[in-house]
Structure 1
């Protein structure tokens, strides 16, 4: 699909319903899981499920479909009854959606959990040199490490709770984490983000310009800016980083509209979840006036490329499995491909944004 057109609203809504249906019912078993907590099935509490829940919540907010809201409430009630995992950067991700449900439903049990987890994130979560949130994940401390994933998985929730609880210290922390991560992860040659940085040796691991990691910034920033009114100099800096990133993305976009899993390596496979997140972030940023209109074509080309990866049942194909910090670039090229919650959910966000264009 090379034409840069948006689906009609009827077409988009039909595909959205199929994508949501598959998101809700993804199960492990298609491949052997390597993460300590399963990240394929929506029955688990981890970052992929958190991304999926947030996309469903934004879709509910857009459409007011009560069955979507009820699915979210049922999911959290079931998960809370079963017992939550230990607190870390990735398991924080579902809390963002819970914070919205807590406010909307007035349920104190939801809000109590949100307060507890937010306080842990701000006051107790391990830090690196200079106070960066250490990318602690299930089964791995990652001492001294900053990862670009952290901004989406934890920092958005910290900001959200700062607003809900009127805690300026939480808002300040969210701003600081965005700035610090940009300081250490930005590749000054390209404006793209490296996957990670370690203070234990001061280097960027494999120097991977990993697509999905970059897309967490693109997609996360536009959602962050919808939450918070930033001081003008900080907003200006974050948006300038976004435009530098997007300018390079436009240069590296494949002919079919996709991006490669290693953005600057055309021999690495193209990857759908990152392409969907880039499309979402770029199209939304253009609509909100954060990026110049010239980037609309880049976003729409990616939009159509992702639509072509959705099969008739609503399964999004070409999505890479969870990706830890690679010590070599080959490790990124070798990550297996299978349907994942974040592939479904980033595609959902993109399709819903497409309704605005």
Structure 2
């Protein structure tokens, strides 16, 4: 694809993300706060906002920055929801805007929400962040989503506030989650762990949950100055995960929503996040160059899921930890902010690799 084609697709994706509403796909939502409507404050919107911020930093587009500031100012004036793992996600972008704009109000909110995570967030055994969400305490449960939704913000705010305790806590959370969620047979990650039952629920190796690590780690390493031993450990987990992902990738370049179950549907948001994480990790030198082909193959598959209006298709709705594998297969598909945002990031990252290819010709 040419640069102008990719840039046109990116603009359409952003335009579609801005107008996502609770009526998308005719789906009746089951979450207390809409996770489709971009004018609400929840985790999918947080993922979308962070992708938009990264795109702004890549391009310098002031209209994107103005939209982000306008979004936060509107939500803050409306009143923010209760604090939990998922509602912490938009705070990651706010931590960058606080630094960029110098707004004392933004900075105060970052400090308040970081203090909640450090001092009031419900914990599991070994002090893991209990995956408490809007409407559900999920007592004694670790979910792989938590690392992206809350821990990235905590690390980033530690940098902004010059509070090393936040950074150290982010390291602990990554290590505790990897300890209990890593499947030692494959290097993939289980969706969740219950300290109350001492099991991994249905034992689901869920694609998007895995993708939160693949896509999240490369950005975590950008924002957090880690001890070398910790960095090497996290990267070895990434390499082992990606090695297995390359084996499980479909001929078309996608991944199934249950990674090891070909009878489950292929899912676009996870595929886009894997593409982004793999390609950025290769470019940064975190992964061997042989994984570049898998990332580009995934990117081309994602492009095939983007319609003429910029809507990313084949994206599964929000997914709680399942007690049966069938629950994952039954999650409906509809346009979601995280599908739009991960496709955006994958396209922008892929453009760098395509340009490298042309430069080498």
**CA deviation string 1:80-132 (max 9, x = no partner):** 00000000000000000001011111111111111000110111100000000
- Equivalent pairs counted in the alignment come to 351
For residues 162 and 141 of structure 1, what CA distance do their matches in structure 2 show?
Answer: 26
Structure 1 segments unaligned to the other structure (5+ residues): 1-6
1:146 to 138, 142, 149: 142
Look up the match of 1:3. none
Match of 1:15 in 2: 9
Cα offset, 1:271, TM superposition: 0.1
Structural mapping, 1:1-357, within 5 Å: 7-29=1-23, 30-357=26-353
Query: Which secondary structure does the structure 1 equivalent of 2:253 belong to?
Result: coil
CA RMSD of aligned residues (A): 0.6
What's the secondary structure of 1:84's corresponding residue?
coil
State the Cα deviation string for residues 162-184 of structure 1 (Å, max 9, x = none).
11111111110000100110000
Query: Which residue number in structure 1 is paired with residue 356 of structure 2?
Result: none
Cα distance, 1:228 vs. partner? 1.5
Q: Deviation per CA, 1:285-315, whole angstroms, max 9, x where unpaired? A: 0000000000000000000000000001100
Q: Distance in 2 between matches of 1:235 and 1:166?
A: 20
Q: Secondary structure at the match of 2:197?
A: coil
Compute the TM-score of the two structures, normalised by the length of structure 2: 0.97
C-alpha displacement at 1:54, in angstroms?
A: 0.3
Structure 2 distance, partners of 1:78, 1:294, is 45
Match of 1:4 in 2: none
Runs of 4+ with deviation above 2 angstroms = none
Q: Match of 1:322, SS?
A: coil
SS state at 1:346 partner: helix
Gaps of at least 5 residues in structure 2 are 354-361
Task: With the length of structure 1 as denominator, give the TM-score of the two structures.
Answer: 0.98
Deviations 1:167-202 (CA, angstroms, capped at 9, x unpaired): 111110000100110000000010000000010011
Equivalents in 2 of 1:232, 1:69: separation in Å? 34
Cα distance in 2, alignment partners of residues 303 and 103 from structure 1? 32
